Chains A and B, each alone.
Chain A
């Protein structure tokens, strides 16, 4: 049975009052949702609060919606994204936090104490490249390669067609490539 079908069974059981079924959904998605939010809000406490809120909103949606839930994963990411947008609306700014210290802080949550200098450099390069591309394209790159969502899931999340998302990701990659060209060109320029 696929993950999608399993989710459907768990959703069905949750709606019938099976507490453990919803607990299993939580266990499965809390990590990805937390990361999705954290990379966008750059604040661990905010990310934790928003993650909890995502699950509560999700439950409200399941309880109140007459619609059949075909894809729980897409639903929960859509709720998370909307909450992140609401979060930035309140701040009147929806930008990815690209503060170097924030990124190191995320990693510090794990075993980053043992990280090499090279690894930190790599992360800095990643952050640097993402900083230079447009917000929309950055969002797409993150959704695809950080959140590891499929084109289909991104399409559901952004309420766009799969074709449009595929084209948008292609353009985002092209922009990223151009940015990387510039970055490496700068690096290779002889210092006078």
Chain B
């Protein structure tokens, strides 16, 4: 009630103010008198003179030219500059960050934003490839860091794993883009240009990954990667724990690189085949030739590996057998290789079986494969030398040959993982090419 009265009083005051009206006659007279008095002042007489009504130009001059707006604008600019400066500092710091650092997620998200901001798929692909390369640079940095700088020995392994995960994600994203390009109704030269970038960049990435792999395999345990259990795969027996885990992760990343590379080659060949341009076709021919050379190198490698196994199986020293018997193997262990080979006729070796039996089984399975792969790749070369009209057929032959090489590698890798090849090696000491050469001689 009292509040209402108080409010009413304030209202009444306002009402009273409104009720007081001006005497219009006096107002007009007073105005004239005042302006006349103003005109009589010396200041007025010295003034530039009567001016027209203010225009927008006057407003501009008053606010902008004379700096009245510029001052607050400058203040706003300075605030913005401080804000932008600190953001820039954070971005610069993020740019130099490594996996595990607080700012690393910022770096990754900024990179993603950079890719998303681009309109051209070709540029997106190029940028993604660039960022994938940066992940590998990060791994090299991690490996070159002093162990004393790290808080725990697990750090490096975790960091490498994180970098490889982002690397694989980036490659997967690129591969999706390439797949979309394959079905997109765009010009053949665009398809070829985009897939060429991926093809070339993945080749470089593959080489860099192999270099990192070599580095870890050589000195992994000495550079701070922690000891632990030995995972399976292409890991050397002297690699343990963090080094071994990192090598396994690198193998997975290499698979991703290979997939992206193969896909890009397929899209490139498809694009070139659709095109009438000799230039595009020549690009495809060059890339297919590169791939053929790479497959040939791989064939040579598997040939050496199978030769090693063959040479080992042809020599059967008693000592090796004795060593094997000294370490009994359970049924579950021994069944690994036949299961891998999927051949019921090849009886699973028993606990008393010699490791040479394993070698012979492997030889039966893959012994002829290098020659088969070589023959297929020769056919591809022949087709490619004939004309540029059968690019797809060449690609099919290359893929066939590659599949053979892959099969051999998987078989040997599986046998190594199960320990069969290892035992053979340890019994015979025939693991090096030099020894193989000696045995053949």
Contacts and interface: CB of A to CB of B under 8 A. Distances in A.
Interface in B21-52: 21-23, 26-27, 30-31, 33-35, 37-39, 41, 43-44, 47-52
Contacts of B48: 16-17
Given A142-B13, A180-B5, A181-B2, A13 B54 contact: yes
Nearest to A126: B12
Interface in A27-63: 27, 30-31, 34-35, 38-39, 48, 51-52, 55-56, 59-60, 63
Contacts of B13: 126, 141-142, 145-146
Question: Which of A17, A21, A107 has most B Cβ within 10 Å?
Answer: A17
A22 interface: yes
A122 B8 contact: yes
Contacts of B10: 141, 145
Interface string B86-112: 000000000000000000000000000
Contacts of B17: 35, 39, 146-148
A56 B39 contact: no
A15 interface: yes
A164 interface: no
The B contact surface, by secondary structure, is helix
Given A12-B62, A16-B51, A106-B19, A60 B30 contact: no
Given A16-B47, A141-B13, A176-B6, A107 B19 contact: yes
A156 B8 CA distance: 27
A10 B54 contact: yes
Contact of A106 (B20, B38, B59): B20
A151 B379 CA distance: 94
A160 interface: no
Nearest to A49: B30
B9 interface: yes
Contacts of A19: 35, 38-39, 50
B53 interface: yes
Contacts of B22: 30-31, 34
A59 B35 CA distance: 10
A136 interface: no
Contacts of A184: 1-2, 5
Given A9-B62, A109-B21, A109-B23, A26 B34 contact: yes
A20 B53 contact: yes
A1 B69 CA distance: 12
A35 B31 CA distance: 17
Chain A interface residue number, banded: 35 or more
A122 B12 contact: yes
Contact of B23 (A5, A48, A176, A181): A48
Contacts of A8: 62, 68
Interface string A92-112: 000000000001001101101
Contacts of A17: 44, 47-51
Interface in A141-176: 141-142, 145-148, 173, 176
A75 interface: no
Contact of B41 (A10, A16, A35, A60): A60
A123 B12 contact: yes
A35 B15 CA distance: 12
B352 to A, nearest CB: 98
Contacts of B30: 30, 48, 51-52, 55
A176 B33 CA distance: 41
Contact of A56 (B37, B43, B52): B37
Nearest to B61: A12
B58 interface: yes
B132 to A, nearest CB: 55
A18 interface: yes
A173 B2 CA distance: 12
B20 A110 contact: yes
Contacts of B27: 30
A83 B63 CA distance: 32
A122 B59 CA distance: 46
B39 A55 contact: no
B14 interface: yes
A27 B35 CA distance: 12
B16 interface: yes
Given A9-B54, A35-B17, A110-B19, A173 B6 contact: yes
B56 to A, nearest CB: 10
Enumerate the 8 nearest inter-chain pairs by beta-carbon distance, A residue then B residue, closest first: A17-B47, A63-B43, A18-B51, A110-B21, A126-B12, A145-B13, A145-B10, A146-B13
23 contacts: A9-B59, A16-B48, A17-B51, A18-B53, A18-B54, A19-B35, A19-B39, A19-B50, A21-B51, A22-B38, A26-B31, A27-B31, A34-B22, A35-B17, A48-B23, A64-B43, A106-B20, A141-B10, A145-B13, A147-B17, A173-B6, A180-B9, A184-B5
Interface of A: 1, 5, 8-10, 12-13, 15-23, 26-27, 30-31, 34-35, 38-39, 48, 51-52, 55-56, 59-60, 63-64, 103, 106-107, 109-110, 112, 122-123, 125-126, 129, 141-142, 145-148, 173, 176-177, 180-181, 184
Given A64-B43, A107-B19, A123-B16, 14 more contacts: A9-B62, A13-B54, A16-B47, A21-B54, A22-B38, A31-B22, A35-B17, A35-B20, A60-B41, A63-B41, A126-B9, A146-B14, A146-B16, A180-B6
